[in-house]
Amino acid sequence: MPIRTCVFDAYGTLFDVASAARQVASEPGHEDFGDLWQTVAADWRLKQLQYTWLRAITGAHTDFWQVTKDGLDWALERSGFKDDNLRERLLALYWKLEAYPEVPAMLEALKAAGFNTAILSNGSPEMLAGAVDSAGVGAVLDDVLSVESVGIFKPAPSVYQMVLKRFGGGPQDVLFVSSNGWDAAAAAGVGFHTAWVNRQGEPAERLPWTPERQLPDLSTIPELAGDAW
């Protein structure tokens, strides 16, 4: 069956979650942050994800902005930073994260080839709108789907079912792309074709499902979507 719909995770897949910390580290007045920004960015992302999982399994849902703030506060405390101005600057930049360089051309190629394109993300609608607008990719996306519609974070199966409710067809019509191995694996578990964008060269997750393809970046997604699966 040919792929009809290409769906992307947002944070870490289309948008560089480390770009906020990297930019702040280069700004005057934040010289002390320059030595630790990579550690803070990694801790921030890890705690952000961990809080989504913990809230999902305990039924204590909140929106992604809250877990983003909570994750940053944990990361800053761990690194010894108690600078409110630094915190506010990092949070402000998270609303306009940089897209990875290949993203605009990749999405444009998909649309030109006739594929449906969408984001499926833990992000709140407001956060996602900010990122999409900042990256200038709204015109090449058919929809931006947020977990707020179902009230639980990934990898709950109901999140992935949102794609089928929006675009119709079956799971075999969908190519789901994520930089998170666990996310791509969970999407494979509901029957989607999957590609894991493994930018960091990480080991595969030990889960019951395995992404079908592993890529270093998003540049070959248009060709991959057109392949026979």
pLDDT digits (tens, 9 = 90+) for 163-173: 999 999 999 99
| pLDDT confidence of residue 177 | 98
Amino acid type, 31: E
| pLDDT confidence of residue 153 | 98
Q: How far apart are CA 147 and CA 112, in angstroms?
A: 28
pTM attached to this predicted model: 0.96
Give pLDDT tens digits for 60-101.
999 999 999 999 999 999 999 989 999 999 999 999 999 999
Over 80: is that where the pLDDT of 229 sits? no
Mean predicted confidence (pLDDT) in 171-185: 98
Q: Annotated active-site positions, please?
A: 9
CA distances from residue 24 to 8, 31, 138 in whole angstroms, order as listed: 27, 9, 26
What is the chain's Cα-based Rg? 17
- Taken in order of first residue, the domains within the chain and their CATH numbers are 5-15+98-226 (3.40.50.1000), 19-94 (1.10.150.240)
Beta carbons within 10 angstroms of residue 114's beta carbon: 8
Over 80: is that where the pLDDT of 228 sits? no
Give pLDDT tens digits for 6-48.
999 999 999 999 999 999 999 998 889 999 999 999 999 999 9
Q: How far apart are CA 119 and CA 126, in angstroms?
A: 13
DSSP-derived 3-state class of residue 19: helix
Q: How far apart are CA 44 and CA 30, in angstroms?
A: 18
Continuous segment of H or E residues that includes residue 134: helix 125-135
Mean pLDDT, the chain, whole residue set: 96
Which tokens go with 107? 């999405």
| pLDDT confidence of residue 46 | 98
The 8-class DSSP code of residue 91 comes to H
Which tokens go with 120? 């499926």
Beta carbons within 10 angstroms of residue 228's beta carbon: 6
With CA atoms as reference, report the closest residue to 141 among 121, 177, 116: 116
Give pLDDT tens digits for 95-136.
999 999 999 999 999 999 999 999 999 999 999 999 999 999
| pLDDT confidence of residue 1 | 65
Q: How far apart are CA 202 and CA 180, in angstroms?
A: 10
Q: What residues contact 219, with CB distance under 8 A and at least 6 apart? A: 102, 106
Which tokens go with 100? 């990875």
Centroid of chain to Cα 178: 7
Q: How far apart are CA 88 and CA 100, in angstroms?
A: 23
Which tokens go with 149? 């519609």
| pLDDT confidence of residue 77 | 97
